[in-house]
Amino acid sequence: MLSFSVSGTYADLYEITMGQTYFLEGRHAETACFDYFFRKIPNNGGYVLFAGLHDLLEALEGLQFTDEDIAYLQELRLHPDYLDFLKSFRFKGTLHAPPEGEVIFPHSPIVRVEGTLLETQLIESLLLNILNFASLVATKASRIRQVAGNRTLSDFGLRRAHGPGAVLAARAAVVGGFNSTSNTYAALKYGIPAAGTMAHSFIESYDAELEAFRAFARSRPDDCIFLVDTYHTLQSGVPNAITVAKELEAQGHKAVGIRLDSGDLAYLAKAARNMLNEAGFPYVKIITSNQLDEFVIRSLLEQQAPIDVFGVGTKLVTGAPDAALDGVYKLAMAAGKARLKLSESKEKTTLPGIKQVLRTLDEEGKFYGADAVILASEGNHADLIRHPVEEERQLYLRDCRQEPLLQKVMENGQRTAAPPALAETAAYAQKRLRQLPEEYKRLENPHLYKVGISPQLWELREQLKAHFHK
């Protein structure tokens, strides 16, 4: 995670000022539980891929208020006793969550945060900032992987990302199925394979395109990808790339590929492939970029464009078209009592109490199409779930295999296990996506995955609603 994340001031101000009230009222050490969940799937899709967990855990382990932080908070007229308390603040809470890379659905608790009222409140915006963004990008990446098949995918989004979010986006893209990144910092930090070609400006800086290609080949003879659309793709770019590829072969080297960054990519890829093959270079790959997403890539492949590598930038790292995952962080328990938020919108009334989520599976190990949200005290099985809003709609789950999703990942402010390798997390995501039936992965009109609540949880919520309506 980026270093600024460990500052206690990486929060909305109201979290800090509410914390002061808890402290001055003597409530800061009361127990509390918050749930992280989201309400709407981006891209009109059928699922979300959970990402950002280990960046969050790393940030929580280092979270503290520096001397500079305290000096600034003094300027905001916070109470001296509260500031003294914050000087030694460390997060000591407990988190339950699915493994990173899990497939998740709306209205289901994804992360359960337990600890003191003050510490669980203080981390709200930090948690939302990391998990919402990373899960948005990982989901977009997984949709792109779905249509790209086994072709190479590379994150080209650094220049279009929202500031340092590009670093988190590069990692999230790998969780979703990407192979590499052009972001050198992210490649170094996370151990992601680095990938890159050349810019039009490099070619323009030379008096001739062929001269530019030769210069690049001299400096990188075994890692040479030629950008061929600076002047005229088929009349100069590809022929000049072939010329230099022949020169490299004569010296015992092989060109890696050519890159198409504009124009009719399907037409140009087919024409370039024919030219390369006829010249004796079937091994030279064709890389494309330029405003790609899952729909453009699907169209290119439907046209049988012979493209080996897709470089995806803007629409990946911004999660286009939605630009945000609407994850929220809501109080479920405080001072030993279940809590809920009421709303005029029934679907926005929260679920009280400490909860577990059960993933149901069929006989073949595929997701059954329904998750059960239960009270943690109920164990790890649910016979019946109800629609969260419409009581008469219910589903029996007696014959389904069920597995708890929320596992302890942090205790007393420390991770319960070393973080898995990024490749392991990416492999887990692909495994879980294979368990998700195809109808939930359609790009258009996906099937709706059900999330229901147990009768006991329903009853607890109704009791609290009746109490507050009085």
The pLDDT value recorded for residue 365 is 94
pLDDT tens string, the chain, 470 residues long: the values are 455 557 999 999 999 999 999 999 999 999 999 999 999 999 999 999 999 999 999 999 999 999 999 999 999 999 999 999 999 999 999 999 999 999 999 999 999 999 999 999 999 999 999 999 999 999 999 999 999 999 999 999 999 999 999 999 999 999 999 999 999 999 999 999 999 999 999 999 999 999 999 999 999 999 999 999 999 999 999 999 999 999 999 999 999 999 999 999 999 999 999 999 999 999 999 999 999 999 999 999 999 999 999 999 999 999 999 989 999 999 999 999 999 999 877 778 999 999 999 999 999 999 999 999 999 999 999 999 999 988 889 999 988 899 999 999 999 999 999 999 999 999 999 999 999 999 999 999 999 999 999 999 999 999 999 988 77
The pLDDT value recorded for residue 1 is 47
Within the chain, all domains assigned CATH 3.20.140.10 are found at 3-137+322-469
The pLDDT value recorded for residue 43 is 93
Sign of the Cα pseudo-torsion (199, 200, 203, 205, in order)? negative
135: amino acid identity, one letter: S
* CATH number assigned to the domain with residue range 3-137+322-469, chosen from the 4 options 3.30.70.100, 3.30.479.10, 3.10.450.200, 3.20.140.10: 3.20.140.10
CB atoms within 10 A of CB 89: 16
Distance CA 210, CA 122 (A): 58
Within the chain, all domains assigned CATH 3.20.20.70 are found at 145-317
Cβ atoms of 58 and 344 within 8 Å: the answer is no
Which residues are within 8 A (CB) of 297 and not within 5 positions of it... i.e. 6 or more apart?
144, 147, 148, 310, 312
> Which of 225, 207, 201 lies closest to 276 in space, CA to CA?
225
What angle separates helix 265-278 from helix 238-250, to the nearest 10 degrees? 30
How far CA 230 is from CA of 141, 213, 233, 261, 307, in Å, comes to: 28, 12, 7, 9, 19
The pLDDT value recorded for residue 391 is 81
**pTM score, whole prediction:** 0.96
The hierarchical CATH code for the domain 145-317 is 3.20.20.70
The pLDDT value recorded for residue 348 is 84
